[in-house]
Structure 1
Amino acid sequence: MTAAQDGPHPPQRLGLLLAWHGSVTQVRMKRALSAAGLTPRHAMTLMHLEEGPISQRALADRLEVDPSVLVGILNDLEGDGLAERRRDPADRRRHNVAITESGSTALGRTNAALDEVEQGLFAGFSPSDRDTLRDLLARIDTRADGFDCQE
């Protein structure tokens, strides 16, 4: 059987291969996150908060989102009892953000769902292969003028 008969395959151009696999991965990850009750942005925010309280400004920088976008994300998370904002006692103008116990529980469910997806996606990879893939992906230059991956 030839490659053409095996079924549909994406073109062998690296950018298109990355886009093809990225779209499949994105659908699977969103489905897993949805089952756990979170959006990708909410999950990423909770993952950053898991490291401990952080200023709202530093969190926006880490997430690479405009502070006004972060306010909406945090409003959602606070409304669901998953995160909380408190005034910084050292600087009353600044807010610190922390994950709540409910947020940690939700994040645990989320991580379990994402682990399952990743185990399926990377079943054919050794731990060394996974490390190599992480290293290679980190070297891709995704900075582009006028492009906002948060859109």
Structure 2
Amino acid sequence: MTTPPTVDADLGWTLGTVMRSYMKLSEHALAGVPGGPRSYLVLTAAANGELGSQLAIAQHLNIDRTVMTYLLDDLENEGLVERKPDPADRRARRVLLTDAGRELLCTLERRLRQAEEALLGPLDGGEREVLRSLLRRIATDDGGHRGSACDVAERIVAEDAVAAVPTSRRRRS
């Protein structure tokens, strides 16, 4: 009979502990932002500019349209974003960062980097890069077919959407 490993040797325990620590540090870093982490993601998507429309950002971030409206209302009331009609489709609203939104986003990114540094404090620079690289490889592995983080995120969102449809409404093949 072998002795069971200690809890600190268990991958699930280790990942859970690291994730809880990261969540606590990142929540602190994003404190005071209307909408918290979700709004940070919206600001990041708006800064990128590729998605543009309110609906596209909501779909990309897997945020309910109604929730997205409330998040944008709060961000707009704080002067962080503007919603303007899309010249190509007047029904669509483009989400644009204001100067204050860009400034806040830079501040939040610095705070998150500091949170990451605090979390990874026990590791030296080389170990940090190895850890990030290994985690990125695991996160973007798709059953042996590696993809980008965006590819994996889109696959997960699509799987979640299918899972959300009641079984009685799914097409049978």
TM over 0.5: yes
Aligned length: 136
For residue 59 of structure 2, what is the aligned residue in structure 1?
A: 61
**1:46 equivalent among 43, 46, 55:** 43
**Residue 122, structure 1, aligned to residue 124, structure 2:** no
How far does residue 16 in structure 1 lie from its aligned partner after superposition? 3.3
Q: Is the 8 A contact 2:83 2:94 kept in 1?
A: yes
TM-score (norm 2): 0.69
What CA RMSD, in Å, does the superposition of the two structures yield over aligned residues? 2.3
How far does residue 10 in structure 1 lie from its aligned partner after superposition? 5.0
Describe the SS at the equivalent of 1:50.
Answer: helix
- Distance between the aligned counterparts of 1:23 and 1:104, measured in 2? 28
How far does residue 57 in structure 1 lie from its aligned partner after superposition? 1.1
Seq. identity, %: 30
Residue by residue over 1:71-121, the C-alpha shift from the partner in whole angstroms, topping out at 9 and shown as x without a partner, is: 111011001000111111111111111111100000111011111111122
- What does 1:15-30 align with in structure 2 at a 5 Å threshold? 15-30=12-27
* Unmatched 5+ stretches in structure 1: 1-8, 147-151
Q: Is the 8 A contact 2:21 2:119 kept in 1?
A: no
Larger proportion of helix = 2
* Unmatched 5+ stretches in structure 2: 1-5, 143-151, 165-173
How far does residue 135 in structure 1 lie from its aligned partner after superposition? 2.1
For residue 6 of structure 1, what is the aligned residue in structure 2?
A: none
Q: Is the 8 A contact 2:27 2:37 kept in 1?
A: yes
4+ aligned runs moved over 3 Å, structure 1: 9-13, 138-146
- Distance between the aligned counterparts of 2:12 and 2:69, measured in 1? 33
* Greater relative CO, 1 or 2 (CA 8 Å, sep 6+): 1
